[in-house]
Structure 1
Amino acid sequence: MRPRPSADRPSADRAAVPSSAGSPDAGTPVIDVCDGVHDAESWRALLAGMAADAPGFLEFFAAPLAAAAGHDRAAVRRRLAAGAADAVTLERVAEGLATDIDAHAGRLRAAGVRRQVLHGADFPLPGGGTINDRLAERCARHPGLLEAWCGVDARDPGRAVAEIDRCAALGMRGVVVLPFVSGVAPGDRAHHRVYEHAARLGLPLWLHCGLNLARHRPMTRPADLDHVAARHPALRIVAGHGGWPWVGELVAVMMRQPNIYLDTSAHDPAAMAAPGSGWEPLLFHLPGALRRRVVFGSAAWTHGTGVERFVAGVHALGLDERTRRAWLHDNAAALLGLPAAE
């Protein structure tokens, strides 16, 4: 994963140094179902698209973005809050976030990661194609380790369905949907076309659920997934980011709908046991009803750190070995169609 850059340290593309931390437990393999790892051109396209469709998203993540750009966090936040996502700032952020895919793969192997799912997007690249195309190319360099899922936008459902077909032909193995970016509700007819097509192709779907930072767009609540899962029982749905702060609601929906998984990405597991964290329902039900339904995700770029921090957080919770392994590896292995044991 990317180290947190500074003004006098080169980006990961220019100097990618493998982490020496290693895995917190070399005996427990890891499957990470959520991260964003791109080259500079893809980051520029992604950040520009987010600035246009969900500007509050960039403002919230001012800390890692400022670190990547070598800027002061407060200054970057002020600029983003004022809508000043100018080309120069985005260029510097993109260069700072850019990751050499071979060095990234080396860090994952050192950390004990067996497979990592990287999320794409259909924002266009200047030279043609989309972020999805570039991500498929990068993941193809490490086919046993990296798996690409295509991002689609339901504002044009016909185009979204065609993009799924196109990306599946490129070797992408899942679909990513962000209702807060498209502005299309998860229960809208347009999204149902996407769900139906993903289910028909046997592709799992990661759907952003819970808090989003685009203040002009509604948040997707776990209850919104109840009808989706019931209408598409063959579709394997990953509720992204655990539906926080409505984790209890997501747990209830999962008890009704067996085709929903909970992904804990973007949240540090080490903090989940703290009173008031909102994760109490997950930890209570994790050893029982949810043992086979919770999958590990990092979205490590949002914290400007590496996957190791999130893996260590799971170990810090003091779970029994069976439950910990199910969360870190076995449940995602089943979701992705991999053998549980290597």
Structure 2
Amino acid sequence: MLQPIPRRVIDFHAHFVVPGARSEAWARWEEEYAAQFGRAKLELWRERQRKNIAARWRGLADAEDRVQSEEEAVARWKQQVDVHGLNAIVFLTGGGNDRLSRIVRQYPGRFIGFAHHDPFAPNAADELERAVTELGLRGYKVLAPVLSKPVDDPAAFPVWETAERLGIPVLIHFGILGGGGGIAGADNCNPLRLERVAQGFPGVPFVIPHFGAGYMRELLLLCWSCPNVHVDTSGSLQWMRWVPGDMTLRSVLRTFLESVGPERILFGTDSSALPRGFIRMYYDELQRACWSLNVPEEHQDLIFYGNAARLLRLPPETAWKPGEGTAAAMAVAAAVGEGGPRA
């Protein structure tokens, strides 16, 4: 039977999938594509993406076709948190700010939610303020490649000012987006577009996921320029196959440890659909890489837990204690066949 992870862990990068929900910016990008090239080509592009993504899921279970209720999905995600022994999981998206707030409030301290809306939308700064102060969300997520303007356009400065005043982390996806056949060369794919913003708002801890998603060199330079920029380890890291050089998770982790240091690296999985749930494989692979590099235990604790807890300003009492609720959760999971992905 699957055992809980024997260490403190916060998954800083997950998504609560809501059927039919799309990022505002991503939906707008698709509409612009359809207006320029036609809806038939958009559907062809979508279908090719689905096939490319499915071929690269490394043997993990496919997402379920059936539409489950929100209540069922919440319960199953809580099982995942308990079965794997996670201190907390951060849902960066979840069908809109109001819906995600409703979801994470059901398990405060274990479920954490981020706001996710277009920084160039009207009243975007006010919406971020509302999401944090009224809805209880604890950060802000942005998909840079599909934004309508450069990420450093002054039109978004009120959003960054709000984030700085509220003291929340901002996670911005740069790099390739959408799986094979997705977006790779948009102006906002380059993390260096954030340099002016990160330097202008030094009180904002920015987090760039997936080790830069194909823009690793640019991310390293951004981290050199801006000490408030962090990285996360999330995702399948398939981008390593598409860039020159013999890259592995071990070699990439070593590079970031030797440059930005363990204080600016956060563990994440990019887990989303059920029945996959929490992708334990990604934790196992990162743990093995840490061991093979002889990363000191105190540095591993920062990567897997401490850095996320610090950025999220979590109180000490949210820490999960070994054995707390685990036996019952594992029994329930076994009964429904929810033992986790193949690792």
| TM-score, with structure 2 as normaliser | 0.71
Matched to 1:254, the amino acid is C
Change (3 A) 1:310 1:248: same
Asked if 1:33 is matched to 2:9, the reply is: no
1:60 corresponds to: 49
1:239 corresponds to: 208
Change (3 A) 1:215 1:324: closer
1:190 corresponds to: 155
Matched to 1:141, the amino acid is Q
Mapped partners of 1:265, 1:189: distance in 2: 29
1:120 corresponds to: 93
* SS of 1:301 mapped into structure 2: coil
Asked if 1:106 is matched to 2:79, the reply is: yes
After superposition, the C-alpha distances for 1:140-188 in whole angstroms (9 at most, x for unaligned) are 00001011101021332x4211211221211111111112233322111
- Specify which structure has the bigger relative contact order, considering alpha-carbon pairs within 8 angstroms and separated by 6 or more residues: 2
Q: Write the mapping of 1:167-246 to structure 2, written as runs, cut at 5 A.
A: 167-168=131-132, 169-212=134-177, 213-214=182-183, 217-246=186-215
* SS of 2:20 mapped into structure 1: helix
Contact 2:233 / 2:269 at 8 angstroms: preserved in 1?
Answer: yes
Mapped partners of 1:217, 1:200: distance in 2: 30
Mapped partners of 1:53, 1:217: distance in 2: 11
Match of 1:252 among 203, 221, 231: 221
* SS of 2:137 mapped into structure 1: coil
Mapped partners of 1:172, 1:164: distance in 2: 9
Shift of 1:278: 8.0
Mapped partners of 2:253, 2:69: distance in 1: 32
After superposition, the C-alpha distances for 1:242-263 in whole angstroms (9 at most, x for unaligned) are 2121223322321331111101
Contact 1:147 / 1:173 at 8 angstroms: preserved in 2?
Answer: yes
Mapped partners of 1:230, 1:248: distance in 2: 19
Matched to 1:142, the amino acid is Y
* SS of 1:292 mapped into structure 2: helix
Change (3 A) 1:315 1:177: same
Match of 2:112 among 147, 152, 167: 147
Mapped partners of 2:68, 2:48: distance in 1: 17
Task: Structure 1: state its 5+ residue gaps.
Answer: 1-19, 68-72, 74-89, 122-129
Asked if 1:295 is matched to 2:259, the reply is: no
Contact 1:44 / 1:94 at 8 angstroms: preserved in 2?
Answer: no
Asked if 1:21 is matched to 2:2, the reply is: yes
Contact 2:25 / 2:143 at 8 angstroms: preserved in 1?
Answer: no
Contact 1:211 / 1:219 at 8 angstroms: preserved in 2?
Answer: no
Shift of 1:100: 1.2
Mapped partners of 1:251, 1:279: distance in 2: 16
Contact 2:12 / 2:308 at 8 angstroms: preserved in 1?
Answer: yes
1:78 corresponds to: none
Contact 1:295 / 1:327 at 8 angstroms: preserved in 2?
Answer: yes
| TM-score, with structure 1 as normaliser | 0.72
Q: How many residue pairs are counted as aligned between the two chains?
A: 286
Contact 2:263 / 2:307 at 8 angstroms: preserved in 1?
Answer: yes
2:35 corresponds to: none
Matched to 2:115, the amino acid is C
Change (3 A) 1:295 1:234: same
Mapped partners of 1:201, 1:22: distance in 2: 38
Mapped partners of 1:154, 1:235: distance in 2: 15
Contact 2:23 / 2:117 at 8 angstroms: preserved in 1?
Answer: no
Asked if 1:307 is matched to 2:279, the reply is: yes
Change (3 A) 1:133 1:58: farther
Matched to 2:150, the amino acid is A
2:255 corresponds to: 284
Matched to 2:224, the amino acid is M
Contact 2:235 / 2:268 at 8 angstroms: preserved in 1?
Answer: yes
Contact 1:149 / 1:176 at 8 angstroms: preserved in 2?
Answer: yes
Query: Could you tell which deviates more after superposition, 107-116 or 142-151?
Result: 107-116
Shift of 1:281: 4.7
Report the aligned-residue RMSD: 3.6
Task: Structure 2: state its 5+ residue gaps.
Answer: 31-41, 57-61, 320-343
* SS of 2:175 mapped into structure 1: coil
Contact 2:25 / 2:148 at 8 angstroms: preserved in 1?
Answer: no
Shift of 1:133: 0.8
Change (3 A) 1:340 1:61: farther
Query: Could you tell which deviates more after superposition, 107-116 or 139-148?
Result: 107-116
